């Protein structure tokens, strides 16, 4: 049996999404979603609002976060700068996990300052406070891109990434990231469930990736991600790990709202069943 009532991967303006947790929860509800997770990048600041929005809407809220980790395995075909681990917390996050997550967010600030220094060397002076003022939670490149548009350095956000702050751009700077195994350990210690986000993004053949995920003690694989073709979803589904499903909506044009993501119930991790 298949369901479209579950979407476990969404972003709000607490990271790089367009809208509030309430708006995203409402959009999920309007698409028929009954079990919905907010998974902002490296922050849980949206949980309280998302949870009360879901209560009012009568849908189940799953407390989640998407943790940016270092590259775990080299790929011969892809060149990602990070791997993303989804984490879900049936009992909420404990103090130790929250403090650890906060320490990751802090590392975003020195990184942003380094990127501003780089832009300044090209004659584009932007104050850190201006970028930071756009960030509700953790400051990141989308906030900088918007300031670059406001300053007339670029015409739009895409151009900011293409020409300046994308992974190959002259003003791109990386930040220190936790390893996947460190993140898995922290999530498990807090009673959480882990899933490798958009598992097709890293360019690792499944017969190499899956045994490694088991070594890392990752609980699930996000086989049913918006970016995966059906053939990839099915291939990942049959590798012996439970799956999760994620539209990865940021509220933007290409995927404005959560939901409309079919997933087979017998492969979905039982915790997320509607």
Q: Site residues (CB under 5 A) for Zn ion?
A: 66, 84, 197, 248
Distances (CA, A) of 233 to 118, 162, 222, 272: 40, 29, 9, 18
CA distance 188 to 83: 18
Closer to Zn ion by CB, 12 or 31: give it.
12
Q: What is the DSSP string of 33-98?
A: -SEEEE--BT--TTHHHHHHHHHHHT-EEEEEEEEEE---S--SS---S-EEEEEE-TT---HHHH
What phi, psi does 196 have (nearest 5°)? -75, 115
Tell me the three state secondary structure of residue 2: strand
DSSP state of 25: H
Closest distance of CB 151 from Zn ion, Å: 27
Closest distance of CB 197 from Zn ion, Å: 5
Closer to Zn ion by CB, 69 or 148: give it.
69
C-beta separation of 260 from 247 below 8 A: yes
Closest distance of CB 140 from Zn ion, Å: 12
Tell me the three state secondary structure of residue 138: coil
Closest distance of CB 66 from Zn ion, Å: 5
Closer to Zn ion by CB, 250 or 269: give it.
250
Closest distance of CB 33 from Zn ion, Å: 16
Closer to Zn ion by CB, 116 or 177: give it.
177
Closer to Zn ion by CB, 16 or 219: give it.
16
């Amino acid at each position: 049996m298949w369901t479209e009532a579950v979407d476990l991967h969404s972003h709000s303006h607490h990271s790089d999404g367009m809208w509030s947790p309430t708006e995203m929860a409402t959009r999920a509800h309007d698409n028929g979603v009954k079990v919905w997770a907010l998974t902002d990048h490296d922050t849980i600041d949206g949980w309280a609002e998302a949870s009360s929005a879901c209560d009012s809407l009568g849908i189940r809220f799953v407390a989640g976060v998407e943790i940016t980790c270092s590259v775990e395995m080299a790929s011969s075909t892809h060149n990602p700068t990070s791997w993303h681990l989804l984490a879900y917390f049936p009992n909420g996050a404990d103090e130790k996990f929250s403090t650890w997550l906060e320490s990751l967010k802090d590392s975003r600030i020195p990184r942003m300052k380094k990127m501003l220094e780089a832009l300044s060397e090209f004659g584009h002076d932007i104050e850190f406070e201006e970028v930071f003022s756009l960030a509700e939670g953790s400051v990141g490149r989308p906030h900088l891109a918007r300031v670059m548009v406001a300053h007339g350095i670029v015409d739009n956000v895409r151009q900011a990434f293409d020409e300046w702050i994308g992974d190959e751009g002259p003003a791109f700077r990386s930040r220190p990231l936790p390893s996947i195994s460190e993140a898995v350990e922290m999530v498990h210690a807090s009673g959480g469930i882990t899933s490798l986000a958009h598992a097709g993004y890293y360019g690792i053949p499944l017969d190499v990736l899956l045994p490694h995920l088991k070594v890392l003690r990752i609980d699930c694989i996000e086989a049913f991600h918006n970016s995966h073709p059906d053939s990839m979803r099915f291939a990942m589904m049959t590798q012996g790990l439970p799956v999760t499903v994620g539209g990865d909506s940021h509220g933007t044009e290409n995927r404005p709202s959560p939901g409309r993501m079919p997933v087979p119930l017998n492969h979905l991790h039982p915790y997320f069943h509607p």
